[in-house]
């Protein structure tokens, strides 16, 4: 019987294999196939774990009274009217923006398609701020894709499995992105604090950033699309003697309340508006 | 005895998958701190029950699956589960004669140790924001759940004739 083999050899084999896999996973993309194959087996577990939540929602929807449904219908109709009116203005602004950009010799990519996905899991490890969504490479989700909800950016896809994907949240301690203040265009690096907030890194003490400022994505780094709201500044603290101001922000997206998210599909033309702008400015 | 032929691998896999389900089922944020390491508990039970069949390589495989399930660095829990299975293999004869309190203490130490190993891998890749003693909460609740898990799996083992 093979059971008589010394388990110590197997332990050594498993340890060596583990270390190799860890290094491969961290330094190279070669561990991806393993992850991909195991993804077929882990996705059903996430789907089943989400099932009670799903069926509970379905039940409460079925059990709603006619009057509350009518009320909701009216509210949504009003909302859609308001949104339609805003979209009318947006079309004009967009056209104007494109004309102005043409004058500057830079192209614009304001349009982007989105894919709707449902959140089916949250990372059980408090050290990682990640979500699991119910769309994978089968639905053309890819690593690095930007994820947002109706209010703003949520994060990016870090691991696209076949049937489900993992989304790294903006608030994760290992996440950072380039943002600018909507009011005056001051750029800064926005990082997660590992809990529910964000902080701006390396902002000079004299920078013009105030409480309540809206931070929008810049599109630098070619990962996030430009111009989506990311966070609102909540505190600005200037310390005498410290080289940088201490600025914290909260995400505009309702990360802890969202049940559906949008994945941004890239538009066909890979435009680089900011590069063109810089070249022109000089 | 020829009745020693292994059987019931499917039952073992299903019990591990149910443990995986318990790992990811949504809970309030506060309870996440004390969520027991279900898969590790189930693995430890099967190692103790069937030391000739379930060992280090099973531990490694289940650990890799757990890595993908929770999105950890691939191999982080593979390493931890393999070590946990090895320690249990080395101690299964003693574990069988221990009182339940002693068993719980061993499970606490085992899960605490291998979680610390996994934590140190996670820290080396920069994905930790809480201090390492926080993993002790989950180890403690795992030890509390050891006897109930044991009782359930014992029944499963007898009912489905897992050998």
Distance of CA B99 to the CA centre of its chain: 20
Q: Is the pLDDT of residue A277 over 70?
A: no
Which residues 104-163 on chain B approach chain A with CB closer than 8 angstroms? 121-122, 125-130, 134
For residue A151, give the nearest of A268, A89, A79, A232 by alpha carbon.
A232
State whether B82 and A18 contact (CB < 8 Å).
yes
Q: Is the pLDDT of residue A211 over 90?
A: yes
State whether B20 and A126 contact (CB < 8 Å).
no
Which pLDDT does position A282 carry in this prediction? 32
Structural tokens at position A151: 């209010």
Which pLDDT does position A111 carry in this prediction? 60
| Residue B67 banded pLDDT, cuts 50, 70, 90 | very high
Mean pLDDT of A254-278: 65
The CA distances from residue A26 to A34, B115, B119, in Å, are 14, 20, 15
Between A230 and A5, residue with greater pLDDT: A230
Q: Is the pLDDT of residue B10 over 50?
A: yes
B23 inside 8 A of chain A by CB: yes
Give tens-digit pLDDT for B112-136: 999 999 999 998 887 888 888 888 9
- List the single range of A97-101, A159-163, A199-203, B52-56 with lowest mean pLDDT: A97-101
Structural tokens at position A41: 């087996």
A16 inside 8 A of chain B by CB: no
Which residues 31-50 on chain A approach chain B with CB closer than 8 angstroms? 31, 34-35, 38-39, 41-42, 45-46, 48-50
Residues of chain A with Cβ-Cβ distance to B20 below 8 Å are 42, 45
Domain encompassing residue B51: 2-159
ipTM > 0.95 for the complex? no
Structural tokens at position B113: 């140790």
Q: Which residues make beta-bridge pairs with A180?
A: A187, A216
| Residue A269 banded pLDDT, cuts 50, 70, 90 | very low
Residues of chain A with Cβ-Cβ distance to B70 below 8 Å are 123-125
Q: Is the pLDDT of residue B77 over 80?
A: yes
The CA distances from residue A176 to A122, A168, A263, A264, B79, in Å, are 20, 11, 19, 19, 29
Q: Report the C-alpha gap between A159 and A162 in whole angstroms.
A: 10
Q: Report the C-alpha gap between B50 and B45 in whole angstroms.
A: 8
Q: Where are the beta strands (DSSP E) in chain A?
A: 113-122, 130-133, 146-148, 153-160, 165-169, 176-181, 187-192, 198-204, 214-217, 229-237, 244-251, 260-265
State whether A45 and B24 contact (CB < 8 Å).
yes
Domain at B39, CATH number: 1.10.1760
Give tens-digit pLDDT for A5-33: 688 899 999 999 999 999 999 888 888 88
A21 inside 8 A of chain B by CB: yes
Q: Report the C-alpha gap between A211 and A192 in whole angstroms.
A: 18
When divided into structural domains, chain B yields a total of 1
């Amino acid at each position: 019987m093979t059971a008589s083999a010394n388990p110590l050899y197997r332990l050594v084999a498993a340890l060596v294999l583990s270390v190799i896999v860890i290094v491969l996973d961290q330094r190279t993309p070669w561990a991806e196939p393993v992850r991909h194959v195991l993804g077929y087996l882990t996705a059903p577990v996430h789907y089943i774990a989400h099932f009670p939540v799903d069926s509970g929602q379905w039940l409460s929807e079925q059990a709603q009274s006619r009057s509350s449904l009518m009320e909701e219908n009216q509210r949504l109709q009003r909302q859609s009217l308001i949104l339609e009116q805003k979209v009318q203005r947006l079309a004009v602004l967009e056209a104007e923006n494109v004309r102005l950009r043409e004058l500057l010799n830079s192209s614009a990519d304001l349009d982007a398609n989105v894919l709707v996905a449902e959140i089916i899991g949250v990372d059980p490890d408090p050290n990682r701020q990640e979500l699991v969504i119910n769309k994978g490479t089968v639905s053309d989700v890819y690593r690095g894709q930007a994820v947002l909800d109706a209010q703003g950016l949520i994060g990016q896809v870090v691991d696209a499995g076949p049937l489900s994907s993992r989304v790294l949240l903006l608030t994760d301690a290992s996440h950072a992105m380039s943002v600018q203040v909507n009011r005056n265009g001051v750029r800064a690096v926005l990082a997660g604090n590992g809990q529910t907030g964000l902080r701006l890194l390396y902002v000079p003490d004299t920078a013009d950033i105030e409480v309540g400022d809206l931070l929008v994505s810049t599109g630098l780094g070619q990962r996030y699309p430009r111009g989506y709201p990311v966070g609102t500044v909540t505190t600005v603290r200037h310390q005498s003697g410290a080289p940088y101001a201490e600025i914290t922000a909260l995400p505009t997206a309702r990360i802890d309340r969202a049940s559906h998210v949008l994945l941004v599909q890239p538009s066909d033309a890979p435009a680089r508006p900011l590069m063109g702008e810089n070249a022109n400015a000089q | 005895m020829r009745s020693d032929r292994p059987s019931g691998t499917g039952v073992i896999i299903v019990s591990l998958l149910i443990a995986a389900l318990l790992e990811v089922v949504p809970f309030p944020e506060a309870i996440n701190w004390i969520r027991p390491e279900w898969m590790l508990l189930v693995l430890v039970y099967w190692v103790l029950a069937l030391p000739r069949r379930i060992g280090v390589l099973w531990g490694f495989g289940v650990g890799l699956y757990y890595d993908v399930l929770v999105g950890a660095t691939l191999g982080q829990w593979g390493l931890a589960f393999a070590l946990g299975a090895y320690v249990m293999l080395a101690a299964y004869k003693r574990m069988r004669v221990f009182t339940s309190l002693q068993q719980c203490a061993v499970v606490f130490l085992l899960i605490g140790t291998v979680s610390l190993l996994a934590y140190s891998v996670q820290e080396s890749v920069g994905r930790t924001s809480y201090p390492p003693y926080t993993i002790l909460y989950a180890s403690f609740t795992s030890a509390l759940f050891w006897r109930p898990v044991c009782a359930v799996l014992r029944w499963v083992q007898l009912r489905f004739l897992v050998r």
